A and B are shown apart, each in its own frame.
Chain A
Amino acid sequence: MKFRINKNDFKIRDEQDGTLSLMTLSTSQLIYLNTTARLLIQQEGIVDFEDFLKQLKFDGVEEVELRSDYQDLIYQLEALGIVEIVEEEPLTEHGCMLVGEKEYREVSKFILENGNNKFNFIDMTYPDNYSLQNLRARQFNGEEFNIIKLKDGKIIADVIIAVAPFNTGISVVSFSAIVMDKSIEENDVENIIKELLEYSSGLFADKYNKIRFYYTDEKQDYILNILKNIGFKKTCTLEKEICKNIDLTLYDKMM
């Protein structure tokens, strides 16, 4: 992150014990700050946040706490117009990201256009399940999350992770779909799936320790072999679990 202090828009007054009061000129808002804030507002020109942090040393204060406190302060001062954030962390053009409000439309389109591609793990019997509205409703309610892989700003893969509702204490998440862009080469499939699942593990590692998928004989063996290579192991088979005659096999991997 890079930021700049708008020095023309405020006046400060030194108060007791090293604190200061600051009034914004345009909105006449008054706030009280301590010594740590003084260090920030003294900065000149465009400041790189990481370089700024490196200069600081406070006894007994962990770097992670310092980082968090200063980030909060920057956003507070930005809300008052004192700080201008010149450059945020760039949205990834490559790599994985969790989908949000801005991406649902693109993700739905991606799934519907690529749902029947060769290297997929998805049930497209009811494509409406992957409409924008349904994807959004499930993710908004915390039932399911879409994690996508981007290349040059374009979605090339999506994994859908399902979560037990309301934190019932279950430590397992499962992925219910993997969709690949039609342009993906066979050699790249395993790495892409591995990256998506590793990114997902990072998101869920706090409360969950296992990731699972459910396999039936209806699915192609190709994707199963890839998942086994990544580290998934067969847990059990539930006989005649689906439609009275299809076995359901569980494959698990610790995060």
Chain B
Amino acid sequence: MELAFDNYFKREYSMLSKLTGPIMVSLDITQKCNLKCVHCFNNSGRSVPDELSDKEIIDVANQIAELHPHNVCLCGGETLCRENIFDIIGTLRGNVTKISMVSNGYKMDFETAKRLVDSGVSHIQISLDGKDCYQHDTFRGVKGSFNRAVNAIKNVKVCGVNRLATSLVPNKLNYKTVDEYIDLCYELGVNDVRMMPFLPSGRGRSIGRNLLLSNTEYFYFVEKVKSKKREYANRMNVEWGDPLDHMRRMPFNAEYGLQTYCMEVKSNGDITVTTYLPIVVGNCKKYTLKTYWDNGYDLIWKNKEIVKYIDKIQCIYDLDDFEPAPYSGEKIVFDIVDGIKP
């Protein structure tokens, strides 16, 4: 039976072992952020000292264009804190299938939203962490951020973006009213409501951890989400996602020769394996993304030296114990082109 499954899997997914590049690239365009979210897993706020310059990030965008991924997701930090974001989008446009971005919405007035959509950004995700100012502003640390996020959602919707999503991290302030939150998203015309557990990483490890839900609170939260998922079926996607899913799925896929789905690039050019762990496998100031892809990144999840770190994360609280602590400034550094190991 196992052989039959092996053969089936390899036959059906054989195309995924012949890729010229990743399907998706996730690019952190800055670490700078104008909010002070208590749960921020990547400790955003100030730029990192070695953040890519304007010229360097355009070079990275060209490297991404060379790979022709189907999706590039611009992340941060707060993406709109990167001043030359439109130059980055302009470089990618026409060379990648789809450009998406994540934002807290604070700086997304109508003109900005229109410019983003007209520039070719087809999927926009706005972080909205509650049904009202109390829940959202407290969690995000800046008064008025809820109203700005809601206005951003409205602006983006009016400008006709292809796909509009919100994201919420459940915590003690908002979990009881997640049903009202989901109703609000529907009224605002959101297409996808994305939720995933609060990670004890970055600021979530320290400042925010008192807002982590207990097991029973998560249970009631997820039961409400399930009800709403059913209620809004075919009208709006309600997703409860597991942040650790890729850490199980990707090594499994790689054993069957399926190439890596996504390349992760940080704001200083570091190329990582997963956004949640400080495992660096190269830097695009040194070699191009294509060079890294052709020299082992395509099957990075089969690399036993690296997977041994991934295997330490079996549940969310293992992030708490991981050494070095993610986003603490310390990293495990490889270079898969030069064959350098930590």
Contacts and interface: CB of A to CB of B under 8 A. Distances in A.
A75 B314 contact: no
Given A79-B138, A140-B242, A142-B222, A105 B315 contact: yes
Nearest to B214: A100
Interface string B200-228: 00000001101100111011001100110
Contacts of B226: 142, 166-167
A105 B314 contact: yes
B248 A133 contact: yes
Interface string A90-107: 000000011111111100
Given A76-B134, A101-B317, A85 B210 contact: yes
A102 B197 CA distance: 13
A105 B321 CA distance: 14
Question: Which label, helix, strand, loop or mixed, suits the secondary structure of the A interface?
Answer: mixed
Contact of B208 (A79, A99, A168, A203): A79
Interface in A4-51: 27, 29-31
Given A29-B141, A79-B208, A132-B314, A206 B248 contact: no
B337 interface: no
A232 to B, nearest CB: 24
Given A166-B230, A167-B230, A207 B223 contact: yes
B184 to A, nearest CB: 18
B181 to A, nearest CB: 15
A100 B139 CA distance: 23
A79 B176 CA distance: 17
Interface in B217-266: 218-219, 222-223, 226-227, 229-230, 240, 242, 248
B289 to A, nearest CB: 31
Interface in A87-125: 97-105
Contacts of A190: none
A79 B139 contact: yes
Nearest to B319: A101
B315 A104 contact: yes
B138 A136 contact: no
B316 interface: yes
B173 interface: yes
Contacts, number: 77
B299 interface: no
Contacts of B138: 31, 76, 79-80
A145 B226 CA distance: 15
Nearest to A88: B210
B210 A79 contact: yes
Give the interface size class of chain A.
Answer: 35 or more
Contacts of B230: 166-168
Given A76-B138, A79-B138, A203-B216, A101 B316 contact: yes
A33 to B, nearest CB: 11
A29 B139 CA distance: 12
Contacts of A167: 223, 226-227, 230
Given A30-B143, A104-B315, A167-B226, A98 B248 contact: no
Contacts of A85: 210
B38 interface: yes
B172 interface: yes
A137 B241 CA distance: 11
A75 B210 CA distance: 8
A7 to B, nearest CB: 19
Nearest to B210: A78
A22 to B, nearest CB: 12
A63 interface: no
A72 interface: yes
A142 B230 CA distance: 13
B114 to A, nearest CB: 32
Contacts of A68: 176
Contacts of B141: 27, 29
Contact of B215 (A99, A133, A140, A142): A99
Contact of B219 (A29, A102, A168, A203): A203
A97 B211 contact: no
A117 to B, nearest CB: 25
Contacts of B207: 79
Nearest to A97: B215
Contacts of A105: 314-315
A103 B143 CA distance: 37
A19 to B, nearest CB: 14
Q: Please indicate which of the listed interface residues B38, B134, B216, B314 has the most CB atoms of chain A within 10 Å of its own CB.
A: B314
Given A79-B139, A100-B214, A105-B315, 12 more contacts: A27-B141, A31-B143, A72-B172, A72-B173, A75-B172, A80-B138, A97-B215, A137-B242, A141-B242, A142-B223, A167-B230, A203-B219
22 contacts: A27-B36, A29-B143, A31-B138, A31-B143, A76-B138, A76-B173, A78-B211, A79-B138, A79-B173, A79-B210, A97-B215, A97-B216, A98-B216, A98-B219, A99-B215, A101-B197, A101-B315, A137-B248, A142-B223, A145-B219, A203-B219, A206-B223
